[in-house]
Structure 1
Amino acid sequence: MLKFLVDMFFPPLCHNCREFIPNAGRVHVCEKCLTTSRPIQSPMCSCCGIPFATDEGISHLCGNCIAKHPPFDAACGAYLYEGAVKELIHRFKYDGRVQCRRPLALLLLERLSGVVADFSPDLIIPVPLHKKRLRQRGFNQAILIGEVLAKEWRVPFERRLLQRIRWTEPQVNLAASERMANVKGAFALREPKLASGKRIVLVDDVLTTGSTVAECSNVLKKAGALAVIAVTVARVAEN
């Protein structure tokens, strides 16, 4: 009866298309919208997580990671950056729809909780924004998503440990070859000793070339982090 009354006065609507969802679960994104975004699954690169097709259907290192292994141990995206997931991320980041953080975080949880459990993390750290970008946007989307993940996974969340210490151009405006140089030296740790000996999960909304999480991971590894994996809601299909 209580659920009936709640649904009557506060009907569960899809965060993307705003249609009513009968028997809605926690995510509140309808099946029709979810079919527009493909979950990432094997085969993929076992390090950077980029999906690819193989005759055997088995995950392995891609050519880029064989040539130069990134400083992170793995990068995992829940969905490809397309369809409803892409639309929700855009509404979240650029339209200020902070209520989208929960469905996005829950979609990540559904796909990647097993990976994180196997990793046995000691800390969760969001990819930081520069203070100028933070003033413009009003929030750091990685922090808002990370708060939900940390509560669900019961892992300590250090929102201010990793800092962006210099302004960088938006990565979306740069070619893949320019992105690593753009973020070089852009991050530092407030208290490096807090990362030493820790297994760390980096959180962000989207992974494109991996340059940003690679630079963050490099800083964490230099401070003595034992292992670093990056988890994102979405991943661009091509570097």
Structure 2
Amino acid sequence: MNKFFATFLDVLFPPLCHLCRAFIPDAGPLHICPACRERMPAVAHPLCPVCGIPFLGVGDDHVCGACRQSQPDFTAARAALLYEGECRELIHAYKYRYKTHLRRPLALLTAAPLRDFVAACASELIVPVPLHVRRLRERGFNQAVLLGEIWSREWGVPLERGAMRRIRWTEPQITLTAAQRRDNVKGAFDVRDAGVVKGRRVLLVDDVYTTGSTVKECAHVLKAAGASEVAVVTVARAVES
């Protein structure tokens, strides 16, 4: 696209911040203004090398109490952003207000900071956390699949959209306690074709890691189907205050 045509488009469709709607002269691919971007803090060290939960203060990475008590079936999980403020607002608009164009800034905000983690995992395929068919009809899209399509291109890892399925209806996790979330998703997933994941390193992807109940259950099912390793990537990580 030449400079004149780009300027013409900016006049017709001025680039606005997805969050505050301010005009951005150089919007780039994110369309998030610098002020809003500064209010989207990254997940930073020190953190648990297993589940990726960040710790307050300074120090070295160390395994958190929850992972010491019960080792998950995934090798490691990482998120790019803290699930708060503008990040939460962007994800809610994407997921619950059906603004599917927001998958691009969310995916790109994740792709660069987690590129080295994904490369170290040497994953052979990306598997999105599945939605129940009823939820998919209601929403019209699987947010993890749409993110996974961009991550697949950014990281050069093939996407297996239908590798897993949700075989039982589950209540929305947002309203449940940690214990209720674990019970809610137990036995809710399976692998369509074990041959797709058997002996392979899988990158399980979703939008938010909250208590980890969903990704832990999915990782358990993937390992049971023969996956050699499972790593987890999400856009955001919720941290209890």
| TM-score category (smaller protein) | over 0.9
1:85 Cα deviation (Å)?
1.2
Task: Check if 1:16 corresponds to 2:10.
Answer: no
Counterpart residue identity of residue 162, structure 1? M
Report matched runs for 1:21-60 at 5 Å.
Answer: 21-53=24-56, 55=58, 57-60=59-62
Q: TM-score, normalised by structure 2?
A: 0.95
Task: Check if 1:135 corresponds to 2:141.
Answer: no
1:201 Cα deviation (Å)?
0.8
Counterpart residue identity of residue 152, structure 1? E
Q: In the alignment, what sits opposite 1:214?
A: 216
Give the unaligned 5+ runs of structure 2. Answer: none
Total equivalences in the alignment: 238
Which of 94, 98, 102 is equivalent to 1:92? 94
Aligned-residue CA RMSD in angstroms? 1.3
Task: Check if 1:175 corresponds to 2:177.
Answer: yes
User: How many angstroms apart in 2 are the aligned matches of 1:184 and 1:54?
Assistant: 35
Give the unaligned 5+ runs of structure 1. Answer: none
1:6 Cα deviation (Å)?
3.2
Instruction: Give the 4+ runs in structure 1 shifted more than 3 A.
Output: none
Counterpart residue identity of residue 186, structure 1? A
Q: In the alignment, what sits opposite 1:124?
A: 126
Q: In the alignment, what sits opposite 1:115?
A: 117
1:54 Cα deviation (Å)?
5.1
Q: In the alignment, what sits opposite 1:153?
A: 155
User: How many angstroms apart in 2 are the aligned matches of 1:20 and 1:84?
Assistant: 17
Secondary structure, counterpart of 1:111 in structure 2 = coil
1:11 Cα deviation (Å)?
2.4
Deviations 1:76-133 (A, max 9, x none): 1111111111111111111111111111111111221111111111000110000111
Check the 8 A contact 1:206/1:234 in 2, yes or no.
Answer: yes
Report matched runs for 1:185-224 at 5 Å.
Answer: 185-224=187-226
Deviations 1:18-56 (A, max 9, x none): 11112222211111111222100101111111111355x
User: How many angstroms apart in 2 are the aligned matches of 1:90 and 1:53?
Assistant: 26
User: How many angstroms apart in 1 are the aligned matches of 2:15 and 2:46?
Assistant: 35
1:177 Cα deviation (Å)?
1.4
Counterpart residue identity of residue 166, structure 1? R
User: How many angstroms apart in 1 are the aligned matches of 2:218 and 2:70?
Assistant: 17
User: How many angstroms apart in 1 are the aligned matches of 2:151 and 2:73?
Assistant: 23
Counterpart residue identity of residue 51, structure 1? P
Q: Percent identity?
A: 53
User: How many angstroms apart in 1 are the aligned matches of 2:10 and 2:116?
Assistant: 31
Task: Check if 1:82 corresponds to 2:69.
Answer: no
Counterpart residue identity of residue 33, structure 2? C
User: How many angstroms apart in 1 are the aligned matches of 2:25 and 2:15?
Assistant: 8
